[in-house]
Structure 1
């Protein structure tokens, strides 16, 4: 398919896990006040893989641990965990009904860092954001990155939730990182580089198109176009979109560019080595960093932002 960039659709499915005291208690939310974004930190595991884990693996492990602890007369070591929605490159999967409590923000015993998300209940006497929030987990690729399609689908999930719960329409105040609530390093890439989380929220709010249509400039008679952006991999797509939209020029990946019979006056390279690109352009602008976060910083600096 010549490496074309595919449109991302919501593809939202419901597949609820069974009720269990350590994953899905059935306790109802007091109200929906915010959405909390996470990453799974489970490299290579899909949304379906997490369904199996929370429906079978974790409940079984906790049941066995509780029985063993009681039998041996020791303290039990239980993992209470769950989230409402898991998002990967291909779908968004609802594991827990959106009106029920999940165990998504338990780490901070003193309660939420955000006072607006402190709520109390007999099961949470110190106050806990779980009573007020919908938890969204972004699945992680085998290399530890969050795929651009996963990020875009998460923005679509945000928009879906905003239609269900109008109180979430204040995007920048109603969607937060797990880090903002408990101080946990989650979602780690968006804690390391906050601009990545802002990019997600900007897509949610419509400030950045989730599926932008980047129209290549018209070819001149001698098959030369003025300017273009080329990305090295899917990990560079989001910043590549930003740059192409800002410069109002075409966006290519390496494969599609190699298949095009054209010459480019000025080629902005977002990620990867320069080898083989010189034949396609009169001028190369190297915006590639040591990693995806460094590349984004270089592009931002290049645009003077």
Structure 2
């Protein structure tokens, strides 16, 4: 079962990935893939907050999605350098042609970055986009539609980088356009993001999961879920899910009210978040 698990961790303002200028308006969402196999959302935070400044490269995106969470790196009312390929590309979509003296382009063709929120899908080590990453991207799309009503027109307001400038991005969805249509169909509700179990099977059984008590436990909970390659839930989302977990790792808070969700509880909660982190580290044998 995939949940949104949306977190904010903004990179510092800098010339190369977060220049700080405001979008003219939110007119579309441009979808990308990272082309960086094995790097998750947190890895890309490090890159766009530090490395990109050192190497002096212009690039960026607002939201990075991996198989465990969605991470907002740049506030959604600010611009970044996610499309237009350095400002030198000829725009294929005339509706995203915007001009502003803060963002000159050598082609004089306008720049889509002034109108777009950029969403990046992270890749698995083998270079594929995990199905959970695609589902979570659809959930991010739906979240953006709730926040920005002008994005409700799913099939015209969500576009690939390829659709805007012709760049081969996201490559798997350029090679096979039906993959992107499936993502938009999920966004629009035509394909269920989480399939409902058959009536006689009221609860879905999953092998393993991590549940956190509060936002203070999210960081260590994510590390544990990433290490164990399993799902991450908060208490409220878990309570609303019709599923049964064979092994549930509890990070923060008590185990009260969780026994009906699992066959086995591993209690890793400490007296405070630092004590909890120590217990998780000990459990992982690190």
TM-score by length of 2: 0.67
1:175 equivalent in structure 2: 158
Alpha-carbon distance in 2 for matches of 1:160, 1:48? 20
Quick one: which of 134, 144, 158 aligns to 1:151? Answer: 134
2:119 equivalent in structure 1: 136
Q: Contact between 2:59 and 2:82, CA under 8 Å: does it hold in 1?
A: yes
Q: How does 1:187-206 map to 2 (within 5 A)?
A: 187-206=170-189
Alpha-carbon distance in 2 for matches of 1:180, 1:50? 24
Q: How does 1:224-263 map to 2 (within 5 A)?
A: none
> Deviation at 1:216?
8.2
State yes or no: 1:22 paired with 2:16: yes
Cα deviation, 1:161-193, whole Å, max 9, x if unaligned, reads: 000100000000000000000100000000000
Alpha-carbon distance in 2 for matches of 1:43, 1:109? 26
Alpha-carbon distance in 2 for matches of 1:133, 1:171? 14
> Deviation at 1:106?
2.4
Alpha-carbon distance in 1 for matches of 2:166, 2:186? 24
Q: Contact between 1:47 and 1:88, CA under 8 Å: does it hold in 2?
A: yes
* Unaligned 5+ runs, structure 2: 202-286
Secondary structure of the residue aligned to 1:100 is: coil
State yes or no: 1:8 paired with 2:12: no
State yes or no: 1:82 paired with 2:65: no
2:78 equivalent in structure 1: 100
1:114 equivalent in structure 2: 93
Quick one: which of 40, 45, 50 aligns to 1:56? Answer: 50
Cα deviation, 1:28-80, whole Å, max 9, x if unaligned, reads: 10000000000000000000000000001111222xxxxxxxxxxxxxxxx20
Structure 1 stretches of at least 4 aligned residues deviating more than 6 Å after TM superposition:
none
TM-score by length of 1: 0.63
Alpha-carbon distance in 1 for matches of 2:185, 2:63? 20
Secondary structure of the residue aligned to 1:116 is: helix
* Unaligned 5+ runs, structure 1: 1-6, 63-78, 219-305
CA RMSD, 1 decimal: 1.4
> Deviation at 1:91?
0.3
Quick one: which of 149, 156, 165 aligns to 1:166? Answer: 149
> Deviation at 1:194?
0.4
Cα deviation, 1:186-220, whole Å, max 9, x if unaligned, reads: 000000000000000000000000001142889xx
Tell me which moved more, 175-184 or 105-114. 105-114
**Structure-2 change in CA distance of 1:89 and 1:110 (3 Å):** closer
The number of equivalent residue pairs is: 196
> Deviation at 1:110?
4.6
1:207 equivalent in structure 2: 190
Cα deviation, 1:220-264, whole Å, max 9, x if unaligned, reads: xxxxxxxxxxxxxxxxxxxxxxxxxxxxxxxxxxxxxxxxxxxxx
Kindly name which structure, 1 or 2, has the bigger radius of gyration based on alpha carbons. 1
